[in-house]
Structure 1
Amino acid sequence: MVCLLTLFASVFSAFIVSGHSVKLNYNHNVINVANFAMDVHNRMSSYPYAFKVVDIISDAAQLYPPARVKYMLQIQAAQTVCENHASVNVTDCALQSNAEIMTCSFTIIAVPGNDYIPKHLLLDQCV
């Protein structure tokens, strides 16, 4: 039990991050959930070209029992040269030369470091 509480304390302290604007210089878990949210947004949209995360403007996280974290992110995304379809992987997609930029707010529930447990996108707002 002490081990579990120590784990939660370290996860909690590692994920209470807020308000720094750094170009994708973030914890792997934050980048992972930002990309997950953008992938879901692309699948749900009718954009002709896929968008990808280019900047994380702000992030905050809360421990969400039993072992999940609720991430609240504001990101900037740019339009890529890759056509938007269900199986697009934007990792290797270049940005368009005059790429459209949008700002998105996402709220995601996830288990940090566990790609086997599904993530859930709770809020998806892009302008």
Structure 2
Amino acid sequence: MSKINFLPLGPVVQLVDTSHKVVIIKRGVELNQDEKYSTYYDYGGVYYPEGVEGTETLYFRRATGKTVLFCGYSDKEETNFIAELNAAIAFKQSAEGSDNVRRKAPPIQQRLMLFFKKQ
């Protein structure tokens, strides 16, 4: 798996084939479909300028294509987080295969919790 150059939190992007702008609020998201399968998305966001409305989040992958309209803030902590996120994704894919829908395994977020305990 190649390293993903994730955008930081907060960028405003415009997705392909839509006039909607989206603010990125999540990265490396794994959603459970049922007890056996989950689906991976690179990003989760909310519509701009509306923001969060209830529990509605728009999930999308890098392949969706996007134009970055505003990049957001990044520092060394962000760089370390992205490296750990990429390691967690690579670990999960090597254990399960690279399908977008995979067998249920410990979520990426569990590995990231270890990252925060090291800080």
Q: Could you tell me the TM-score, scaled by structure 2's length?
A: 0.29
Q: Which has the higher contact order (CA 8 A, sep 6+)?
A: 2
Larger Rg over CA atoms? 1
Q: What TM-score does the superposition give when structure 1 sets the normalisation length? A: 0.27
